[in-house]
Structure 1
Amino acid sequence: MCLLLLATVATVAAPGSAARIARAADPASNGDSPNSAVTTLGLDPAMSLDPSAPQVGALPGGVSPAYGRKSVKEGDWRFDFHGFLTAPLNVGFNTREMPLPGQEKNVLHAPPVVPDDLETFSHTGVVPTTYARLNFSQGNGLVSANMSLVARQANASTSFLEPASQQGVTDLFVALTPAPYRNMRAQFLVGAFSSRYGSTGEYDEGRYGTPLIARVNGMGEQASLKAIWGDFTLMVEQGLQGQSNKPGSSIIPDVSSDFADPGAGSSFASHLHVGVGFRRWGTLGGHYIRAWSQDDRAGNLALDGGLDISAADIRLTLGRFGHLYVAFARTQAENARTVSRMISVLNTKGGLGLMDNYLGRLSNGTGTLTTVGGQYDLSIGKLVSYPTPFYGDGPDLFVSVFGMQTHVSSADRTADNITMRKIGIEGTYSLLSWLAVSTRYDQVAPHVGMDDLSFAVLAPRLIFRSDWAATDQVVLQYAHWFNGSRTTVRVGDPPVPDPTVIPDSGVLSLSATMWW
């Protein structure tokens, strides 16, 4: 089998390092200074996160694998292979209420029992999870065939086989990148891929690992056009995607099928995005996504469902003054119960996922989510060394501030008029070429006004690496949870909230990460 993907050059993204500025190293780039005149088009600015970027949040210490380089000449055919992996051991600590003879009072949980499920608003990303992605591509500066392989579990570490965690071929598409004119760049993707909008990180999904607007997964096309007009870059992106299979009524929704939903119909998504960038300082964007289902196989009584997502965002890349991203998104759902997982809002799985985590089971998928969030990253080393360039090859203090809030209006009275909020801060000090120390603090309120459901997390960590700008790290972390009296976790298959389960108070993690 020919293994292919558009991944291009993967280099480490320490603050200010050559890896971090992999996109700025594009031949079209004119340097780090915001005052540089833009003469030709580079890969930035962009409306969405590159499809080949790993679907994970930011790594500890403010580093991000940066993808995006392609063959410069149309006749320069080449094969590229790049990848990303994170392999953690996570152990949760708790106590038994009434231990019997032969039972210890203290208990260990792996995976830990904490309120950090990806699909829920409570997700912070503090606990690392297993993830591997291999990107392959074959092509030149005009056309490339692309493929990615993804897994979210390593079989050597599991006590039972989870077929759904071995995702296999995830992206499979052909990319065309013509340059109609010197000051124009076009890109056409045809095939199966994910389009992510609202990623708070400069080159990744941010500290929460959550696109604030939406993720569209499907088979179809996406066309992008960028053009320079003076100091401005004008951007337009359009996409139409659908799904290539549908679970039948006889399918068993269990672990082996990733709890497939036979009640969801064949779904489609059409989306349009427009934006304007000023030099290399910032980008202002507007987004509209329409996802819908009108499938008679969803059930004779099932109503056609739809999701309308309207959003605006601003991204400021200010050189030594850091990177800021802020987004506002409004998701209007109407009978979205039948909309499939090809659309993901705040990491939920389709319309049913929205109901389970936000709108309530009695809403039939009708309601509104209003979300605002953002992230600000700053390298103190880069700031104070100016005008001398700093590439992360020395001591540095990297700081991130992040947060988001979602307000829910729902046809289900039990889920109506609920505001959810979370904020966090992370600081990382690079002491030596092989050592950095970091601390992260998060506060999460799943229901503002009900403090007994809220919790906080304090996570100090040590980061070991092979060099200042290495593409590897081993992280030793202890995260302590300050849980409210009614902080709730999800347990079981499929996972559902269980207020009778007492969450773990602490989690010890040892993880290894590398990208190439």
Structure 2
Amino acid sequence: MRLSSLTMVLCGVLAPLPALAQGDPKAAEEDAPVQMQNTSAGGAAAAPAKPAPAQTAQKPAVPDVQTPQGPPPSFGNSSPVVTGSGGNAGNKAEGFDFHGYFRAPMRIGIGARDNPLPDQSPTTLHAPVVPDDQYLNWQYTGHQARDWAELYFSYSKGWAKATAGILAFNFTDAAWKENLAQFGIAQGWVTLTPELPWQNVRLEAKVGSFWGRYGMAGRYDAGYYDTFLFGRTHTLGETLRMEIDVADWTLWGEQGFGVRRPNPSIYNDARFTLVNHLHAGVSWKKTVDLSLHHFYTWAQEEDRPGSALTNVPNGNMSVIGADVRVDANMYGYLYAGFSHISAENARVVGPAVEVIHANGGGEFALGITSNYLDGPTRQSNGNGAVNTLLAQYELSIANILTNMKTPGQRYWGEGPDLKIAAFTMVNFISSDDPDMDGVRKLKYGFDLNGRIKSWLGLGMRFDRLQPNSRIPEQSFAILSPRIVFRSDWLAHEEIALQYSRYFFNQRECGNTAEPLLCTQPPAAPTLPDGFGATTTNQDPGNRGAPATRPDLNVIRLQASIWW
């Protein structure tokens, strides 16, 4: 019943579009075609994570098996989408294309020994032990994003295009071969953009395994927090999108459906999951965009033999909301959005949709349940709601000066500039777990990016995070100045040297009887050596993190490029 109602809504949005196209042929001739929104590419590494214990069954007294890699985030705050998919293909010639992106960060955490031996230095060096480098956790910031690579190969003929994506993290030559990090051929889909009899109408269909991305705060990516306000799909399925230009306006509607198979581990509560999603929006002069979004994911699979969680009801999770983005030229770029997530027995809902730093409802300890609804005693059973506000504002000083000199013109990056950005996200939680019911999460920050020469830039980013409004001891901040090198003003590559200083309200819990009154590791620590990783929450025989307290200082040298 719910699905049929949603389908009727979509039909109501899409059905009038051809009639509108016929009614304004002049507008079709005067207006340039608008590129269709890309919802298929981008990516950056998430950190390995571990399962949370089942909530209704006892586990055997052995270490948990390692869980699969979480879905990768979009690839940074300044790189455009690398796999295009817009507009009618027309009579495009047959051919091949290749796009990609990678980032390769060298990261060094600086620690200290409390009681060094005579042949030991008081200073220690190790992989960073920090609270914000697990991508599928609310505390993620991007200051310490890990290595990631993606390669997209495509073949086009006429208005059909086939794309395959190879994705991976944890570069093996500089680390070790981690099978779960090598995704291999992770995506494959066909895009159809048929020619239509109306020049101002565009239709796009996708079928296969691909990302649909909705609620991105950046101009071209997921913004400084590298997350999705409404969701990014991780399914096999389809999407259908239609756009129409009417004078200065562009109207669009989109529908999608897909399925996600769960990881078969007996410690994973998630089950076979389905998702239906609807979207609609309007754009004015490519300056103001307003859109509405709705996701509904659900699981109704039988109990599997060996599952630690049995005889549980069907689960579902829905996301609904709206966002607006304004490109005001000299006055800057603004994104603002609101989403409401409602969860019902969501711990069995798989990671068909990744939303606000969470992977589905209950995928190990990576979903909405562990990241938002559960407190330390895990009493929510996946029931609750999360209301989220996300905003980002960017301003270019060079663009202001360009407009003052020649009104209406834009600065396109060829010259010195100072870019200022501010961003924030706040979450209001309702939960069946009294420890989390009424809790507010808040994080905010700013970034300064100065381009001095064609080859040299200076920048600085600051973030403040308050994970739990009831426990101020868990809050912390990060300040990261950086030097950036490029080969030209508009170069695709970037070499960045960064230093990060962490400021903790309470770095360590001095009283072991109060383990919550200090900075907390992610619900699913980054294994094998991230903050919170131990020998008991990963594969038998693996060593844990080199330190139990988070680092104060981290050095990072990163190379990145897109093409």
**Superposition TM-score tier, normalisation by shorter sequence:** 0.7 to 0.9
Distance 2:328 2:500 in 1: 32
Q: Compute the TM-score of the two structures, normalised by the length of structure 2.
A: 0.78
Which residue number in structure 1 is paired with residue 53 of structure 2? none
1:440-467 residue CA offsets vs partner (Å, 9 max, x unmatched): 1111100125321111111000000101
In structure 2, the residue corresponding to 1:351 is in which secondary structure? coil
Of 351, 354, 361, the match for 1:351? 361
Amino acid at match of 2:41: S
1:148-180 residue CA offsets vs partner (Å, 9 max, x unmatched): 11112110111x332111112222100001242
Which residue number in structure 2 is paired with residue 336 of structure 1? 346
The change in CA–CA distance for 1:513 and 1:498 in structure 2 (over 3 A counts) is closer
In structure 2, the residue corresponding to 1:297 is in which secondary structure? coil
Is 1:172 the counterpart of 2:188 in the alignment? yes
Q: Compute the TM-score of the two structures, normalised by the length of structure 1.
A: 0.85
In structure 2, the residue corresponding to 1:452 is in which secondary structure? helix
Of 283, 304, 322, the match for 2:332? 322
Of 174, 187, 207, the match for 2:204? 187
1:377-456 matches, within 5 Å, as: 377-386=394-403, 387=406, 388-456=409-477
Distance 1:59 1:351 in 2: 25
Which residue number in structure 2 is paired with residue 83 of structure 1? 100
Which residue number in structure 1 is paired with residue 32 of structure 2? 40
Distance 1:306 1:449 in 2: 28
Which residue number in structure 2 is paired with residue 471 of structure 1? 492
Amino acid at match of 1:40: A
1:157-236 matches, within 5 Å, as: 157-158=174-175, 160-180=176-196, 181-236=198-253
Amino acid at match of 1:359: L
1:335-371 residue CA offsets vs partner (Å, 9 max, x unmatched): 0111112222223222222222111122111110110
Of 531, 551, 557, the match for 1:504? 551
Of 162, 173, 188, the match for 1:145? 162
Distance 2:533 2:430 in 1: 23
Deviation for aligned residue 1:215: 1.7
Distance 2:128 2:141 in 1: 16
The answer to whether the Cα contact below 8 Å between 1:91 and 1:110 also exists between their aligned partners in 2 is yes
The change in CA–CA distance for 1:373 and 1:362 in structure 2 (over 3 A counts) is same
Deviation for aligned residue 1:426: 0.4
Q: How many residues align?
A: 464
Between the aligned residues of both structures, percent identity stands at 32
Amino acid at match of 2:325: R
Which residue number in structure 2 is paired with residue 18 of structure 1? none
Deviation for aligned residue 1:101: 3.8
The change in CA–CA distance for 1:395 and 1:179 in structure 2 (over 3 A counts) is same
The change in CA–CA distance for 1:239 and 1:116 in structure 2 (over 3 A counts) is same
The change in CA–CA distance for 1:217 and 1:38 in structure 2 (over 3 A counts) is farther
The change in CA–CA distance for 1:273 and 1:38 in structure 2 (over 3 A counts) is farther
Of 25, 31, 50, the match for 2:39? 50
Distance 1:224 1:311 in 2: 19
- Of 402-411 and 379-388, deviating more is 379-388
Distance 1:284 1:449 in 2: 35
Which residue number in structure 1 is paired with residue 318 of structure 2? 308
The change in CA–CA distance for 1:498 and 1:173 in structure 2 (over 3 A counts) is closer
Amino acid at match of 1:93: I
Amino acid at match of 1:355: T
Of 280, 284, 295, the match for 2:290? 284
Distance 2:96 2:111 in 1: 49
> For structure 2, which runs of at least 5 residues remain unmatched after alignment?
1-28, 45-72, 507-517, 535-546
Which residue number in structure 2 is paired with residue 7 of structure 1? none
Distance 1:487 1:334 in 2: 29
> For structure 1, which runs of at least 5 residues remain unmatched after alignment?
1-36, 254-260
- Of 69-78 and 180-189, deviating more is 69-78
Amino acid at match of 2:350: S
1:296-354 residue CA offsets vs partner (Å, 9 max, x unmatched): 13554121000011110001122333221111000000001111122222232222222
Distance 1:497 1:410 in 2: 25
The answer to which structure has the higher strand fraction is: 1
Give the RMSD, CA atoms, in angstroms.
Answer: 2.2
The answer to whether the Cα contact below 8 Å between 1:276 and 1:284 also exists between their aligned partners in 2 is yes
Distance 1:136 1:58 in 2: 17
Amino acid at match of 2:371: N
In structure 2, the residue corresponding to 1:381 is in which secondary structure? helix
Distance 1:114 1:333 in 2: 26
Distance 1:147 1:465 in 2: 30
The answer to whether the Cα contact below 8 Å between 2:482 and 2:499 also exists between their aligned partners in 1 is yes
Deviation for aligned residue 1:65: 4.9
Which residue number in structure 1 is paired with residue 173 of structure 2? 156
Distance 1:492 1:240 in 2: 31
Amino acid at match of 1:284: L
The change in CA–CA distance for 1:164 and 1:58 in structure 2 (over 3 A counts) is closer
The answer to whether the Cα contact below 8 Å between 2:228 and 2:354 also exists between their aligned partners in 1 is no
Q: Which has the larger radius of gyration?
A: 2
The change in CA–CA distance for 1:440 and 1:493 in structure 2 (over 3 A counts) is closer
The answer to whether the Cα contact below 8 Å between 1:269 and 1:290 also exists between their aligned partners in 2 is yes
In structure 1, the residue corresponding to 2:435 is in which secondary structure? coil
Amino acid at match of 2:253: V
The answer to whether the Cα contact below 8 Å between 1:283 and 1:316 also exists between their aligned partners in 2 is yes
The change in CA–CA distance for 1:74 and 1:111 in structure 2 (over 3 A counts) is farther
1:192-226 residue CA offsets vs partner (Å, 9 max, x unmatched): 11212111011111111111121221001000001
- Of 95-104 and 444-453, deviating more is 95-104
The change in CA–CA distance for 1:496 and 1:508 in structure 2 (over 3 A counts) is closer
Distance 1:290 1:67 in 2: 27
In structure 2, the residue corresponding to 1:296 is in which secondary structure? coil
Distance 1:492 1:116 in 2: 8
- Of 230-239 and 388-397, deviating more is 388-397
The change in CA–CA distance for 1:91 and 1:66 in structure 2 (over 3 A counts) is same
Of 116, 123, 126, the match for 2:143? 126
Amino acid at match of 2:278: L
